[in-house]
Amino acid sequence: MSKASSLLTPVLAKRRGKNPDKKSWHNLHGSSSSFALYQAAQTAKTPILLITHNTPQALKIEQELLSLAKSDNLTNSEHKVSICLFPDWETLPYDNFSPHQDIISQRLSTLYQLSRMESGIIIVPVTTLVQKLAPKQYIEANSLIIKTGDKRDLHQMRQALEASGYRNVDQVLEHGEFSARGAILDLFPMGSSKPFRLDFFDDEIDEIRLFDPESQRSKEKIDSINLLPAHEFPIDEAGINLFRSQFREQFQGNIHKESVYHKVSNGILPPGIEYYLPLFFDNNVDSNQASDKKAATLSNTLCDYLTDNTLIVISGDIEHSLTKYWLDIDYRYENRRYDPTRPLLPPDKLFLTTETLYSALKPFDRITIATEALVEAKHTTDIAGNISDNVDQASDSEINETKSKSSDICFDVKPLPDLTINHKLKQPFELINAFIASKETPNKVLFIAQSQGRRESVLELLERDKIKPAQFDNIDDFINATDTIGITVNSLTQGFSFQAKGNSQKNAIALVTEAELLGDHVSQARRRTKAQDLQADALFKNLAELTVGQPVVHIEHGIGRYLGLQTIENAGIVTEFLMLSYANDAKLYVPVSALHLIGRYSGADSDNAPLHRLGTDTWSKAKQKAAEKVRDVAVELLDIYAKRASNYGHSFKRNKQDYQAFSDTFGFEETFDQKQAINAVVSDMMSPKTMDRLVCGDVGFGKTEVAMRAAFVAVNDGKQVAILVPTTLLAQQHYENFRDRFANWPVVTEVLSRFKTAKEQKEVIARVESGQVDILIGTHKLLQDSIKYKDLGLLVVDEEHRFGVKQKEKIKQLRSNVDILTLTATPIPRTLNMAMGGMRDLSIIATPPAKRLAVKTFVREHDEALIREAILRETLRGGQVYYLHNHVDTIDKTAADIQKLVPEARVVTAHGQMRERELERIMSDFYHQRFNVIVCTTIIETGIDVPSANTIIMDRADHLGLAQLHQLRGRVGRSHHQAYAYLLTPHEKRITKDAKKRLDAIASLEDLGAGFTLATHDLEIRGAGELLGEDQSGSMCQVGFSLYMEMLDQAVAALKEGKQLSLSQVMSAQTEIELRIPALIPEDYIFDVSLRLSLYKRIASCKDKRELDDIQVELIDRFGLLPQPTKNLVQIAKLRIKAQTIGISRIEASATGGSIEFSDSTSVDPMLIIGLIQKNPAMYSMAGASKLKFVKANDDTQKRFTLITNILNDLAK
C-alpha cells in the first residue's frame, strides 16, 4: 500500500442501518486531496464516484491519481485501483454538433462497466452528471458477448448491427462500423480499443482475430468480444417510431419539411441529435416494471447505474457550477427555440435540476472535500448536509437528524508558503532557503518534477544555490530514507506539507512542486496510447481517391478523363475496364490488368488539363519533348549524385546496446513509417557518404523522435549535434523535450536564443567550442561565424523553408562534410521535387498517433455568433483557442471585440512586433492556461506545442497559402480531444479563384497525415513553374508530374548502370498480356469501386513477386479466399514482372497457342530463341523479326499460365 497516501489515511463514510453517512474532509490543501482519495479507494474496496466542479479539475485529478497508481509499490496481494473518467459530450447545450464516436464509445463502455464495478474511482464533472442518460436497461438489453464457436447467421447479424446503429462501410476504421464480405465480418465495437475480424464457417464463428484498422491486416486470435450498442439511444424501427410519435406529441402543429423529424424518419441522424435523446425512450413506462427492458423511462441519471455501496465524493463548489451551467442552458434554449427546422426540448427534459440531482445523490454515502480548516467550516457543516436540506423539502427535524449523523474530519495538512525563485532579486533563492532552514517548517523536503528532463532542469536550478537533493524513484522511497532533501518525478500539480507520524515538526514532510518554485504549471501532458501502423507508400500513384471527371495519364495514349469502371463481356469472358474520355468525346477502355499504364495527372489546373486526341501523334510528340528534357535533367542529376557520393563524411558507429536502451525509453510504440524513417536515417549516418535526408510528416506525427534517435547516435559516437529551428519559442520547447529525453544519459544539452543574456550566450558558445556541449538547439544564431564547434557531426534543420537566403546558403556549405537531417510538415514543392528526383533522400511519416482525431475543418463566412459558439465549445471543456488575425495594426481592436463577444473568456494578444521577452512571457502564460484565447498573427505557425488548444479560428483565411493553412491547422488537435478549425472568409464573391481552391483543398483533406498530399495540391494550384523552374514546367504539364518523375527515374537508373541513354529507354513501353481469360476483382468479392480501383493499381504496379504475395495474403485476410478471376489477375501480374525484366513487349495466348513479342531493347539472347525452335519446330516458329509464335492446346487456365511461365524461364536463361 502506498505509504505516501496512507499518511493521509481518510475516515470513510459508512452507513449506519438504512441511512447514508455523510462526512467532510477538511484542510486538504494542494494535491493532498488526490492522496486521500487514492487511499480511500484502496481502503474502501467499493466504487467511488468523484464529482468535480468542472472539466479542467476532473482532468487534473485524473492525471494525479494515474500518477499515484503508476508509482504505487503494491504487492500482488494488495488492491490495485482502477481510475476512469466519464467524458463529457464536448458540445454546448442544444449544439448543432454531435460528439465524436470515440467519446460515445468511452461513455458506453463506462456505463456498461459501472454496474459491474467492485472498486475503483469514476471521475465526472458536475455539468456532465446533470445530463439525463439512457435507461440502464437499454445498455444491458442491447449488449452482447460473442464467442468463437457461437452459432450465428451472418445475414441476421448484419441486420442486428444496422438496427443497433452500427454503420455498414466498405472499410472499418472507426468505432461503430462494420463490413461484411463473403464469410468475413469486420467489426469495431463501441468500448473496444481495437476492431475485430470474425471468420464464419457456415453459421458458426470459426475464428475471431484482432486487426489493425490502418493496414487492415489481422493480428492475434481472441476468444470473445463484447458488443455494445452504437449510440446512447436506439435507432431501430421501434426506436424511430417512438421518436416520431413523441416528437409529434411534443411539438404540435406543422412539422417543417427540413426538420429533424423528417431526417430521423428517413434514417438520417443529424448533428446534435443527442439533444433529442428522451424522444427515443418511452417516458410512460416505469423502468422497474417494464416487461420489455428495451422500453424504459428516461428517469435514469449516472447515479442509477451505480451499485448501492458506491461512495460519492464531492470536490469543489458544485452548486456554483450548476447555477452557472443552468444560466447557460436557459440562455441557449431561449435563443434557439424558435427555429422551425429544429424545435428544442425544454431544458428539464434533458438536464437534471439542482434539486433533482441532490435527490439522486441522497441514497449514497457521501464525503465532501474542503480546503478550509474545521474551525472555519463550522457554519457550513458540509455540502452533503446541504444536499439533504434541499431534498424533497425535508422537514426541520429530518434535517437536524441528518446533520447530527454527519461528521467532520480535519487532516493535518498545511499549504506551502510562497517559495518562488525570483531571479530579479539579489537573493533569488531567499524564500526556499528560509523555508528549509526554519524550525517551524518540515524537516524533510521533497521536490517534485513533472518529467525526467524537468528533474534535470530543477536539479540544475537548485544546485546554483548549493541545494543538492538526492534522487528518488518515488515518494515512498523518500519517506523511508534518512535524507532530508530529495527530488522525484510525479504528476502532482500543487505542493503541501503533512505529518508522517505524531505531531512533532520533526516528522513533517513537505512536497514542493515546480509550480511553487517557478510560479506556474510547467507542462501539459499529452494523453496517448500505442500507435497503429500505416503503409505510407505510393502516395502519388494510388488511385483510391480518384473521382469521376478527374484527369489521368495513359502512357500510350496521353491525358484523358476518368469516367468510372465498367464490366464488359466479350466471347463469354468478363473483364472490368477503366473508361476514359479524350478530346472530341472519344472513349478508351483500359483493362484493369493494364492499370500500371495509368497514373493520376498533376500539373496544370485539373479543369484545364490538356486532353489528347486519340489516333494522332500529339501525345507521342509531347512525350518525345518531355523525354528530351528528362535526358538532360538525368545527366544533371547524375552529376549531383557523383558529387554527393564523393562527399565522404564521418561514418557513425552505433553501440547497439546503448541505442536499444535509449530507444526503449520512448514512451510510445513506433508507427511503421516512423520506424522506417528512423532506420533510414541511422543507416545513412552509418554509411561513409554524408547524409542529406528530408523527413516529411504531419505536425505532431513523431518527426522529433527521429531527430532524437539521430542525435543519440551522433553524441554516443563523440560528435556534436546542432538543431536549427525557426523560432525562439520552438527552440525553448525543443530544449525541454531533448533535456527530458536525454535525462538519464551523460549528455549536455544547451539552447542559444535571444532569451539568454549576452553573458549567458557567451558562456554557452565557449562551452560549445571546448566540446562541453553535446547538443546545441537554437535559431539562426547557430549558423553565425562566431560559433566554432569542436566536432560537429549532425545538423538537424526544422522547417528549412522558414529560413532566409543567407541561412540556406550557410546550410548548403555545411552539406559537404556534415550529415544533415531536415524535418518538415508540408514540403514546399521545390524541396519535394528535389527529394522525389533523388537529389535528397526522402522519408514520409503518415501515421497519426493513436487516439488523435482528424481536425474538423469548416469554411464559413465571418459570423460573430459562430465565433462565440466555437470559443465557448472549447473553453467549457477546459480547452484553449487560437484566433488568427494577421494584421498587427488592428489586432488589439480585434482582441477587444472578442473579449466583448465572449466576456467569460480570458483573452490575450501576441504578434511578431512585440519585444522577444514580452512575447515569450505571453506564450508561456497561454501554455500554462492563464489565458484561454490568444488573438495572434501567423507567428504561431511554428510555435510551441499546446495540447489543450484544440480550436483555431482563422480570420481572412482566403489570404493564407495552402502550406500556411495546413501548418496553422496543425497547431490544434495534438491530444485525444476532437479539434476544430474555422476558416473565416468574406462573401464568396470577394474570394479569388485560387483562394477558393486552396480553401477547398484544405477542407477536403481533413485526414491525419495530409501534409504530403497537400504539397501535390499546391503543385496543381500553382502550376509547375515553382516546382521545376520555368524551363521544365512546360514539358511536365504536357505529360503530368507522375509520368514525368517515372521517366526521370528510368533515365537516371539507365545512366547509373552505365548505359548509353536513348529516348526509347526514357519512354520504355510496358508489357501487354492478353490470355483470353477473366481477370478481375468481382463486385460480389469487393463491392466498393474506389477500393477495387486502388487494389487494381497496387497489383498492376508491383515490382516483384514478394509484393504480389503480400497483396494476395492481405486479400485473403480481409475479404476471404480469392475467386478464380482474381487469382488470374495476380498471376498475370507475376507474368508481367518476369516478362518486363527481359524486354518482352506483348504476350498473347488462347486455347490453341499464342505469341511473344520482343521489344527493341530486349535482353533475350537470339541464340536461345533459335535453340527453342530447333528443339521443338512443331511448337515454335518466328513471325517476323521480333515475334515468337507457339502452338499448343491449353484450354485449362492453370496450364496456360504454366506454359507461358516455362517459356519465359527458358528465354531468361
Helices (H) and strands (E) in the chain, counts: 42, 44
3-133+307-411, which class in CATH? alpha beta
* Nearest of 1006, 1052, 137, 936 to residue 545 by alpha carbon: 1006
pLDDT above 60 for 936: yes
Beta-bridge mates of residue 248: none
State the pLDDT confidence band at 525, using cuts at 50, 70 and 90.
very low
What is the second-level CATH architecture of the domain 145-227?
2-Layer Sandwich (3.30)
> Is residue 311 within a helix (H) or strand (E), and if so which, with residue range?
strand 311-315
What is the pLDDT, as a whole number, of residue 537?
36
List the single range of 421-430, 665-674, 790-799, 841-850 with lowest mean pLDDT: 841-850
Are 448 and 513 a contacting pair, CB within 8 Å? yes
pLDDT above 50 for 391: no
**CA dist., res. 1130 & res. 1112, Å (int):** 8
Of the two residues 464 and 814, the one the predictor is more confident about is 464
State the pLDDT confidence band at 714, using cuts at 50, 70 and 90.
very high
For CA atoms 881, 883, 888, 889, give the dihedral sign.
negative
Buried-exposed string 871-893: b where 16+ CB fall within 10 A, e elsewhere: bbbbbbbbbbbbbbbbeeeebee
Residue keyed to cell 493521509: 8
Are 487 and 470 a contacting pair, CB within 8 Å? yes
Residue keyed to cell 461528521: 407
Q: What is the 3-state secondary structure (H, E, C) of 903-938?
A: CCCCEEEECCCCCHHHHHHHHHHHHCCCCCEEEECH
Residues near 928 by beta carbon (within 8 Å), at least 6 away in sequence:
520, 521, 522
The alpha-carbon radius of gyration of the chain (Å, integer) is 34
At 232 the three-state DSSP class reads coil
**CA dist., res. 316 & res. 311, Å (int):** 17
At 264 the three-state DSSP class reads helix
Sheet of 508-513: strand order equals 413-414, 496-499, 508-513, 444-449, 485-489, 470-471
Same fold, 644-845 and 856-1007: yes
Copy the grid coordinates of residue 565: 469502371
Domain 415-518 carries which CATH code?
3.40.50.11140
The per-residue pLDDT for range 420-451, each reduced to its tens digit, is: 887 667 777 888 888 888 877 778 899 998 87
pLDDT above 60 for 150: yes
State the pLDDT confidence band at 226, using cuts at 50, 70 and 90.
very high
Of the two residues 1021 and 995, the one the predictor is more confident about is 995
* Nearest of 835, 825, 823 to residue 540 by alpha carbon: 835
The pLDDT of 367-381, averaged and rounded, is 59
* Nearest of 769, 819, 820 to residue 650 by alpha carbon: 819
For 1024-1046, the DSSP string reads SHHHH-HHHHHHHHHH-HHHHHH
**CA dist., res. 633 & res. 343, Å (int):** 65
CATH H superfamily, domain 856-1007: P-loop containing nucleotide triphosphate hydrolases (3.40.50.300)
At 294 the three-state DSSP class reads coil
Percent of the chain at pLDDT exceeding 90 = 28
- What does pTM read for this prediction? 0.66
The pLDDT of 1034-1041, averaged and rounded, is 59
What is the pLDDT, as a whole number, of residue 295?
40
**CA dist., res. 735 & res. 711, Å (int):** 13
List the single range of 270-284, 950-964, 1028-1042, 1049-1063 with lowest mean pLDDT: 1028-1042
pLDDT above 80 for 635: no
- How far separated are the first and last CA of the chain, in Å rounded? 74
Of the two residues 377 and 733, the one the predictor is more confident about is 733
What is the pLDDT, as a whole number, of residue 814?
65
State the pLDDT confidence band at 403, using cuts at 50, 70 and 90.
very low
What is the pLDDT, as a whole number, of residue 241?
93
The per-residue pLDDT for range 1171-1201, each reduced to its tens digit, is: 889 999 999 999 888 899 999 887 888 889 9
1142-1211, which class in CATH? alpha beta
**CA dist., res. 894 & res. 887, Å (int):** 10
Q: Where are the alpha helices (DSSP H) in 1005-1160?
A: 1011-1022, 1025-1028, 1030-1039, 1041-1056, 1063-1066, 1089-1100, 1105-1119, 1124-1141
Domains of the chain by residue range: 3-133+307-411, 134-143+237-300, 145-227, 415-518, 644-845, 856-1007, 1142-1211
Percent of the chain at pLDDT exceeding 70 = 78
List the single range of 97-106, 386-395, 834-843 with lowest mean pLDDT: 386-395
The per-residue pLDDT for range 686-711, each reduced to its tens digit, is: 988 888 888 877 666 788 899 999 99
The per-residue pLDDT for range 1101-1154, each reduced to its tens digit, is: 888 888 898 888 888 888 888 999 999 999 999 999 999 889 898 999 988 899
Are 268 and 149 a contacting pair, CB within 8 Å? no
pLDDT above 80 for 633: no
Cα distances (angstroms) measured from residue 1111 to each of 675, 1091, 1101? 21, 13, 11
What is the pLDDT, as a whole number, of residue 278?
93
Angle at alpha carbon of residue 127, lines to 123 and 128, rounded to 5°: 55
When the pLDDT of each residue in the chain is averaged and rounded to a whole number, the result is: 80
Residues near 999 by beta carbon (within 8 Å), at least 6 away in sequence:
859, 957, 958, 965, 983, 985, 991
The per-residue pLDDT for range 750-772, each reduced to its tens digit, is: 998 776 778 888 999 999 999 99
**CA dist., res. 1043 & res. 520, Å (int):** 56
pLDDT above 60 for 544: no
Are 852 and 950 a contacting pair, CB within 8 Å? no
For CA atoms 367, 368, 370, 376, give the dihedral sign.
negative
- Residue 859 — φ and ψ, nearest 5°? -100, 115
**CA dist., res. 940 & res. 943, Å (int):** 4
Q: 539-548, 767-776, 996-1005 — which one is most confidently predicted on average?
A: 767-776
For 1155-1175, the DSSP string reads EEEE-TT----HHHHHHHHHH
List the single range of 345-354, 397-406, 413-422, 559-568 with lowest mean pLDDT: 397-406
Copy the grid coordinates of residue 1122: 480469392
What is the pLDDT, as a whole number, of residue 868?
92
What is the pLDDT, as a whole number, of residue 1196?
85
Q: What is the dihedral of CA 147, 148, 152, 157, to 10 degrees?
A: 60
Provide the CATH topology of domain 644-845.
Rossmann fold (3.40.50)
State the pLDDT confidence band at 615, using cuts at 50, 70 and 90.
confident
HSE of 333 in the Cβ direction (CA atoms, 13 Å)? 15
For 498-540, the DSSP string reads EESSSS-GGGEEEEEEHHHHHSS------------------TT
